[in-house]
Structure 1
Amino acid sequence: MALKDDINRLLEGLKQERDELRLKMHLAKLEVQQEWEKAEKQWESFKSKAEEALEGGKEVAEELAESAKVIGEELKNAYLRIRERLS
């Protein structure tokens, strides 16, 4: 009878662990998706500012380049967070 009790406890424990992991994976997927959507907005902003900086005059280019650099660093960090969550 002790063997059946041990198996039953193992079964219940694994079932609970499985359910918790499934929920965490689902929530992580949502978080990664939200992070990606935010990164996509940053990408569009970065791309736009970078293109303007490359096309503009020296004064305009310096201001836009600095702004693009800040956005680019934020985007780089967002991509790193996404990569870490997917690993």
Structure 2
Amino acid sequence: MLLTLAGGALFFPGLFALCTWALRRSRPAWTDSDCLMISTRLVSSVQAVLATGSGIVVVLSSCSDVVNGRGSGETLGTSLSAASSQQK
């Protein structure tokens, strides 16, 4: 989990810097604020697509019945502890 966090902490700022640099080089007539705005929107779009894709993968691979997926008598506390123990 920590490795994923570190990867995201490097990937998204790196993508932003790369987009900003590429836009400044390819469109010299644009102002800095134009380049920053477009870079921000591009990075946000990439993040949204990746989040949607990961959500679809999780739902399709681990949820056979989304509505009734929790066992009978299971509370939020037991569900969280079960999920925590599965990750370890």
User: TM-score normalized by structure 1?
Assistant: 0.39
Larger Rg: 1 or 2? 1
Larger RCO (alpha carbons 8 Å, 6+ apart): 1
- Decide which structure has greater helix share: 1
